Amino acid sequence: MTRRDIWLLSDGQLWRVRGRFGGDGGQEVSYDFPDEVSARSMVARMVKTSAGTWRDLTEAVRQEPSRRQTQ
């Protein structure tokens, strides 16, 4: 099974969807959108067209900075 990652990022003006196939050294794609709705639609399409089971790591990523500070 090959790892696939999808990120939804924003700088407050531009929304970017990044996708990576094959782990850390894998092939990447990036798409820019002017609004959140369009970006989330792309995320949904990417998840739907990719085989396998997906895990949402949003909360784990949000909690990571606070874990680093307490260590």
pLDDT in tens, 1-10: 678 889 999 9
User: Would you say 5 and 22 are in contact if contact means Cβ atoms under 8 Å apart?
Assistant: no
* Each residue's pLDDT tens digit, 22-40: 878 888 999 999 999 999 9
Q: Which of 30-34, 42-46, 60-64 has the highest mean pLDDT?
A: 30-34
Q: How many domains does the chain have?
A: 1
CA–CA separation, 60 and 34 (whole Å): 27
Provide the whole-model pTM.
Answer: 0.74
Q: 12-21, 22-31, 53-62: lowest mean pLDDT where? A: 53-62
Q: 50 — phi, psi (to 5°)?
A: -100, 130
Q: What is the 3-state secondary structure (H, E, C) of 4-68?
A: EEEEEEECCCCEEEEEEECCCCCEEEEEEECCHHHHHHHHHHHHHHCCCCCCCCHHHHHHHHHHH
Q: Which domain holds residue 42?
A: 4-70
